[in-house]
Structure 1
């Protein structure tokens, strides 16, 4: 008989028990303030409908269950109408649900929580104060498809919760500037991922991290300092290859000459102006929109040439940070004293790449990772990969990793290295698991994973041959507390065991696996 090498896993579990009323109070205070802009837009009139009673700050019922009211911005104030009757006028007002399960629909989109209604730049602007777990149920299915693998959804839920709590002290909005939030219409699969990871956040050195994420990193993660000039590089947002990312590809191909005016009479634009169009139908409309927002509002514009479009100054992750562009164009009513059209030119040289990307369209230039660019006398061609800034978690990378068998802990561990997953609130708040695997370099994979929801630790191990196995859990003094596996003859391959942690207190515990070979 010969013996396999002993394998050890040491992991730390810190469990804090809170009285139930303290936990409830902590959770009730875990809310987000979200300015509703994305779906509502800029409106001077909105309709609100309630599924339950809502009271105002004075305690009076403002809107009853099943009732609808119309809010209008009138002379910088909020006028409230029930039908055609005006019932009040306010600088701002707040409404709160009498029962927590009530929702308030704003122009047909339901939201939970409380609301402060204000007038902002002449438009009605609600601010939704919502319990963070309900907020996440309106975020995760809009940031990641709900039909993706459950482990990817859990990773996204934890990243979104972490990002939210990092920005909890400010009023965020419901757009891509923060996280897209769609209100109370969630999905059962993302709801489940949120519930299974309730209260979990990612921390580095005891602090909640900046859990940035994007759709695709193009095969290379990026440092925060290469994308945003402000702030120092964060150790948990490093540059490294990501072999699981789908490498979303994008391309821009533009004719330098968009309109040939060689046979057009610039003194008689009325003869040809309406019958002539630019060649490109994707980028040029966005460039014209940019011009109208930058000095040419309500002008009729024809872009004739785009002789320059380049990106430069690659950082260590391969992403560009600078760009240049030139546009030659005519404006219908800008003529000289003889009535001849005057050519206009806008040229930006070596400006931030984000400015150029904003001009050509973020959905066209999907990232700053430019793989190839070329320019000849007639065309400009730029090819790139990735979708988004590439910092932190890649959503497509998380999907592919989950489908390859990676857990949400594995996924978050890759995209946010040197971090821990901790329970910030809810049952088991304060618990933290650090996993350290000690094994010979030629030994097979061995992992420990804490399930906070069910208060247990799952231990997965692989055997390189058939063996007699015993798995023992010891306390810090070496005393055996449990034996999840005792003298079992197991086949070569992967096996798992569960250790229930409900009865243990704070401390350090060691799982010791002995595997005794059967022959040879």
Structure 2
């Protein structure tokens, strides 16, 4: 045993004197290659200035500190001008700073590192060779506001550096296809976060991970394989509830009929084309742009209807994977044989949800996490949560976690479980700095809020016997209550009660720490939103059925701005109608329920209103549906537009067909069959 110990000590001394080849390689290979497209755009002329001298690959000074030069594309090559004098022409040009702290500005934006200038597609396309931490300093303030909490900025810095290191062997660009990179236009706060985490990356099984991140996950993280159909699930990503994500909301509210064609002469479109516009100003422009990219370039388009927009195929994380859409539209100048505008139609059924999102606009449909959707004869409503794919780090979730007192290590531990933090670059390359709390060492928690008794019941589970403490912290990280203090508890499920009567409305964090006999510690943190306001009041509920339209108007009054949802259940308690939650202002409001496909009976209407503080109130009312049905006794029965035999015929019924009797007008019944509403002689219908 002693000999082995001596051998190990000698081995350690040798490697302490001679750093590992892996460490040296990491230090030498610490640069990124970034093609500049985002800020620069497509330019045939670029102005460059420098704060220090830059030399060409041949060693000649190309530009001196304080000088200004211009690059122009001429005959597919780079022509360089100083003042009005042409310095030379190159097919490509490489320049490197003589001193490492020099900055080269392109059209006013400064960059660290060296440059390879090329011409691609007729435009100047620089490639910036830059140290990875200088690259990250140009990324973080573009991806996360520099005013956010320092711990959130550090978490973003490590994630951005990890993402960069994972892609280090390839040429990337400065757009959202990878990470937005803004050169040396950084910020002192993000620079500090990057310097405090210098060289740190995330690893799983010794390999640098693919550190995905998005703006908001909508309250639940997602697997990579559920979002992108290629590739297997990664061991450091998981589906889990994220109570700290603010659940960024988005909504699509779309009229199915965009243009009323009832008074439009399709043979004379020039008389009305320019004066008629679609109702929607949010989704329709994206749909038109998609049509122009897919076969209708440079054509003038009017979208008349959007009869279908729906999502399906939800995976375990709750995100839609499939979508369907149907468009009716006119193309100016596209007419049929009679010279009338020819209505075009495109229908996509169960295609990837990403295709539908690309059609309606990613700034409109901000994620694939669809919470509610509803469609009636006139309108489509789709509501969802989150902004982006939801895989890995939630930027808004990181912000809230940091504000609740979590460190950047704890933030990264949640979003990238089963990973370690390693210093990949710098003097101590290859040394693991800190092991994350993985899933096995974390504590699952949930909270039940009782606003009536002003208490919160917190449930948590221990995997082994431990000494447990539970702290409640406010938004500034200050401890406001200690329901449990260093109490010895057995493994299994436990509950604790926090009396919240002494705290104000706000976001709080319940922090459980459990220490086993060996001193190992597991932690769990749960965000809790406390609202001291009272629930909304819903009054003056009235339900009125209109059998001619087969709709029930549900009227009510709310005393404050709230999100309102309506559910309709039959006498057996089965859901037969849902009107998706949407925002209403205080005062008198109403919604319509289409009962065209519903049988007679007594139905319960439940109206729920939730205010901005999360307080919810639900009230109920009943509505009786009594449709009168009849059977056609004539061999052939024509439906008339009016209760008059001379009126226009709008449809035909046949013997033994069933119909709905809406009303009686003299010797005529007002009836409905399918979508047709008209009049038939009473004598030819048997109730």
Q: TM over 0.5, yes or no? A: yes
The reply on whether 1:372 has 2:375 as its aligned counterpart is: no
Tell me the secondary structure at the aligned position of residue 32 of structure 1. strand
The reply on whether 1:384 has 2:384 as its aligned counterpart is: yes
The reply on whether 1:443 has 2:468 as its aligned counterpart is: yes
Tell me the secondary structure at the aligned position of residue 443 of structure 1. strand
The reply on whether 1:126 has 2:88 as its aligned counterpart is: no
User: 1:397-436 residue pairs with structure 2 within 5 A?
Assistant: 397-432=397-432, 433-434=434-435
Tell me the secondary structure at the aligned position of residue 468 of structure 2. coil
Query: Is the 1:73–1:124 Cα contact (8 Å) retained in structure 2?
Result: yes
**What CA distance in whole angstroms lies between the structure 2 residues aligned with 1:261 and 1:313?**
35
User: 1:211-360 residue pairs with structure 2 within 5 A?
Assistant: 211-360=211-360
CA shift digits 1:468-507 (9 cap, x unpaired): xxxxxxxxxxxxxxxxxxxxxxxxx999xxxxxxxxxxxx
Structure 1 residue 18: Cα displacement = 7.3
Task: Show structure 2 runs of 5+ residues with no match.
Answer: 1-11, 442-462, 472-482, 488-510, 522-687
Structure 1 residue 265: Cα displacement = 1.3
Q: Counterpart in 1 of 2:54?
A: 54
Report how many residues are paired.
445
User: 1:118-157 residue pairs with structure 2 within 5 A?
Assistant: 118-157=118-157
**Structure showing greater Rg:** 2
Q: Counterpart in 2 of 1:176?
A: 176
The reply on whether 1:158 has 2:158 as its aligned counterpart is: yes
**What CA distance in whole angstroms lies between the structure 2 residues aligned with 1:410 and 1:346?**
49
Q: Counterpart in 2 of 1:93?
A: 93
Q: 1:272 to 1:494 in 2, by over 3 A?
A: closer
Q: 1:83 to 1:20 in 2, by over 3 A?
A: farther
Structure 1 residue 98: Cα displacement = 1.1
Question: Quick check: 203-212 or 324-333, which moved more?
Answer: 324-333
User: 1:66-85 residue pairs with structure 2 within 5 A?
Assistant: 66-85=66-85
Query: Is the 1:312–1:322 Cα contact (8 Å) retained in structure 2?
Result: yes
**What CA distance in whole angstroms lies between the structure 2 residues aligned with 1:168 and 1:100?**
21
Instruction: State the TM-score, normalized to the length of structure 2.
Output: 0.61
Task: Show structure 1 runs of 5+ residues with no match.
Answer: 1-13, 447-461, 467-492, 496-509, 514-520
The reply on whether 1:203 has 2:203 as its aligned counterpart is: yes
Query: Is the 1:222–1:238 Cα contact (8 Å) retained in structure 2?
Result: yes
Higher relative contact order (CA 8 A, sep 6+): 1
CA shift digits 1:371-417 (9 cap, x unpaired): 00111111111000001000001111111111111111111111111
Query: Is the 1:55–1:96 Cα contact (8 Å) retained in structure 2?
Result: yes
Tell me the secondary structure at the aligned position of residue 444 of structure 1. strand
CA shift digits 1:442-470 (9 cap, x unpaired): 43389xxxxxxxxxxxxxxx99479xxxx
Question: Quick check: 172-181 or 82-91, which moved more?
Answer: 82-91
Query: Is the 2:48–2:70 Cα contact (8 Å) retained in structure 1?
Result: yes
Q: Counterpart in 2 of 1:34?
A: 34
Query: Is the 1:306–1:327 Cα contact (8 Å) retained in structure 2?
Result: yes
CA shift digits 1:1-45 (9 cap, x unpaired): xxxxxxxxxxxxx99857799979854530111111111111222
Q: 1:322 to 1:435 in 2, by over 3 A?
A: closer
CA shift digits 1:126-172 (9 cap, x unpaired): 11111011001110111111111111111111011111000001111
Q: 1:276 to 1:20 in 2, by over 3 A?
A: same
**What CA distance in whole angstroms lies between the structure 2 residues aligned with 1:55 and 1:197?**
32
CA shift digits 1:223-267 (9 cap, x unpaired): 000001111001211111111111000000111111112211122
Structure 1 residue 75: Cα displacement = 2.7
**What CA distance in whole angstroms lies between the structure 2 residues aligned with 1:28 and 1:53?**
23
More strand by share: 2
Q: 1:463 to 1:263 in 2, by over 3 A?
A: closer
CA RMSD, Structure 1 to Structure 2 (Å): 2.8
Query: Is the 2:410–2:436 Cα contact (8 Å) retained in structure 1?
Result: no
Query: Is the 2:91–2:119 Cα contact (8 Å) retained in structure 1?
Result: yes
Dislocated runs of 4+, deviation >6 Å: 18-25, 435-439, 510-513
Tell me the secondary structure at the aligned position of residue 259 of structure 1. coil
Query: Is the 2:469–2:512 Cα contact (8 Å) retained in structure 1?
Result: no
**What CA distance in whole angstroms lies between the structure 2 residues aligned with 1:104 and 1:396?**
34
Tell me the secondary structure at the aligned position of residue 42 of structure 1. coil
Q: 1:267 to 1:132 in 2, by over 3 A?
A: same
Query: Is the 1:154–1:408 Cα contact (8 Å) retained in structure 2?
Result: yes
**What CA distance in whole angstroms lies between the structure 1 residues aligned with 2:43 and 2:79?**
13
Question: Quick check: 312-321 or 285-294, which moved more?
Answer: 285-294
Question: Quick check: 259-268 or 371-380, which moved more?
Answer: 259-268
**What CA distance in whole angstroms lies between the structure 1 residues aligned with 2:76 and 2:319?**
45
**What CA distance in whole angstroms lies between the structure 1 residues aligned with 2:300 and 2:71?**
36
Q: 1:18 to 1:250 in 2, by over 3 A?
A: farther
**What CA distance in whole angstroms lies between the structure 1 residues aligned with 2:418 and 2:470?**
20
**What CA distance in whole angstroms lies between the structure 1 residues aligned with 2:17 and 2:216?**
40
Q: 1:445 to 1:376 in 2, by over 3 A?
A: closer
**What CA distance in whole angstroms lies between the structure 2 residues aligned with 1:124 and 1:439?**
62
Q: Counterpart in 2 of 1:193?
A: 193
Structure 1 residue 73: Cα displacement = 2.2
Q: 1:435 to 1:295 in 2, by over 3 A?
A: closer
